[in-house]
A and B are shown apart, each in its own frame.
Chain A
Amino acid sequence: MIAFLLKRLMNAAFVMLAVAFLAFMIFRFFGDPVEMMVNEQATQSDRAELRERLGLNDGLLTQYARFVGSAVQGDFGISYRNQQDVMTLVAERFPATFELVIVATVLSLIIGVPFGVLTAVYQDRKLADGLQIGSIVGVSLPSFVVGILLILVFSVSLGWLPAFGRGETVDIGWWSSGFFTDSGRAALILPSISLSLFQITLVMRLVRAEMLEVLRSDFIKFARARGLPLSVVHWRHALRNCLMPVITLTGMQIGNLIAFALVTETVFQWPGMGLLFIQAVTFVDIPVMAAYLMLVSFIFVLINTLVDITYAYVDPRLRSEVAVKGGSAHGH
């Protein structure tokens, strides 16, 4: 077990180093950092001096080591645009994105699981067909189109729900939460629906596939033979047996949702990390881009590693098989 753990951690560290290398390359070679920092009137010698001070004349490996060194301490430098410490900026935005992602995840389970069971159980009926088609439509609708439509209908035409922002937030330490105010909760509804749509269909399809598998198993046949009501067989015995993969998938998708939230955040002007990132892209604010890339990848790798380790703990057979599953379930 210890060997497996070590190997898995080493692997995660390697991946993070590689991501850091990518972030570093963007930071170093996407535009000239000096040109981005100096103002128009700066002279050649000003530029040379700044170049020296930033250490851009050192060897590439030295610079990379320094980049990783400060990244580990959470230091990504100063935002070119806001002139603020990048990690503070990103950290301020993290709660907004995280709450959105959590609500979207919960939604996807609440809606996706029952619908998945229905499509599996009533395989040949109209309802199941309808849900199946619905799930394909769900993955085919671009989330920005869904967002625009939701705004058009529920904010502009009906005036029921806010079209942008988080509403009032409440600070708990450094965490700012929108869960505790009416306007905060109202603001969450449309963005989380638009973000969860894809995830709902993903959960639904997975539940359906797993259910079909389980329903063929002997133990279900046995339960039926015992004369248990069908609803109990389906919703209790069968469903329980396919929850593990659903939970795994949901966990692994959290990283993806965080990243994909940037589209939702753009449409709803949701003040999360994704909006920060998109604005950084338009303003060529490289330190922010690099920090966001590193942070999201870190969450990704962390979740995957945890999932692998948990699996290995639960099922010792997997320990010998070190082939990393990685984030094989990646969405769009």
Chain B
Amino acid sequence: MAIDVPVLSRWQQSDLWWSFQQRPSAVFAVVLLAVVILTSILAPWITPQNPYDLAALNLMNSELPPIWLDGGEYPYVLGTDVQGRDLYSAILYGSRTSLFIGALSVLLALSVGLTLGLIAGYYGGWVDNAIMRLGDVLLSMPFILIAILISAVAVQMLPSHLRESLTSLILVVAIAVPSWVQYARTVRASAMVEKGKEYVQAARLIRVKSWRILLHHILPNTLTPIMVAATLNFGLAILSEATLSFLGVGMPSDQPSLGTLIRIGNQYLFSGLWWVVLFPSIQLCLIVLSVNMIGDWLRDALNPKLR
């Protein structure tokens, strides 16, 4: 989707760059997130082991401490878990899974939310009613509950040979389903305002197709709040995935995400294997923290009231 020039110029006017430079926490967060994303994309090339490949794991190398402690061994820089899984590799691969699920679920929620919101706001009537009622129902159930139910039910219903490949997609859906409503409501409100404005009336008069009006005129006007919400929701989605995996209804232990690693590590909390639970926890907190800091900065920077 191409972004129109007016949007771009609005961005430049909003002195985002200036506020970014004024905010060390935002700079820190952007750098941190960039490093995390880069390392997890490059994971297969910069890790000594593929932790998802069962044949690569060897019990011989299990429970090694981090390299700076007695008994630590190269190349297992951050130590290994009880299966001989290299934690550094597992954390990078796990971050990859977590980021992938988080990003995809936000994208899915965004596309569903924006589409339904635009349709509801632009057409109104029973379409609007139906969509918004569906949203009401979803919002009347706690987020985490919907996600648990969807992932628990769907994963159990899959035949086991499909489970391996589809679990992460189920998690994407489970997290996206309860979160699209927020976008839909925002967009709907703005669509209802915009559709009465003269330029839209004019476009209608010259028979511009309605989807073009929606896409080129109404949507760009709502992008700012949507962007802030999407950033914050990205952090929320990563947290949700970790929570589901921690509760045992997320990623399985042979394809660990960060939450799964923490769940496994939690079983060894008192056995002296503190690194198994600590390092994934730190990585998870850093990812969510940086995303939230960016979201916070965006919200402040784009909200004229707070400046």
Contact = CB atoms under 8 A, between A and B. Distances in A.
> Is chain B in direct contact with chain A in the complex (CB below 8 A)?
yes
Interface of A: 11, 14-15, 18-19, 22, 26, 30-31, 133, 136-137, 139-145, 148, 151-152, 156, 209, 212-213, 255-256, 258-260, 262-263, 266, 278, 281-282, 284, 289, 293, 296-297, 300-301, 304, 324, 326-328, 330-332
A26 B284 contact: no
B270 A156 contact: yes
Interface string B183-198: 0010000000000000
Contact of B305 (A213, A255, A262): A213
B84 interface: no
Contacts, number: 126
B143 A326 contact: no
A233 to B, nearest CB: 20
8 nearest A-B pairs in the assembled complex, by CB-CB distance: A259-B142, A140-B289, A140-B288, A18-B137, A326-B139, A327-B139, A15-B140, A332-B236
Interface stretch (B14-22, B48-56, B243-251): B243-251
A26 B143 contact: no
Nearest to B142: A259
Interface string B24-35: 010000000000
Interface residues of B, number: 48
18 contacts: A18-B137, A26-B153, A30-B153, A30-B157, A136-B25, A145-B281, A209-B306, A212-B306, A256-B143, A263-B246, A281-B148, A282-B248, A293-B145, A301-B140, A326-B136, A326-B139, A330-B142, A330-B143
B289 A304 contact: no
A140 B142 contact: no
Contacts of A328: 139, 182, 185
A205 B240 CA distance: 21
A140 B235 contact: yes
Contacts of B143: 256, 259, 330-332
Contacts of A30: 153, 156-157
Interface in B272-307: 277, 281, 284-285, 288-289, 291-293, 296, 305-306
Contacts of A26: 149, 153
Interface in B95-133: 133
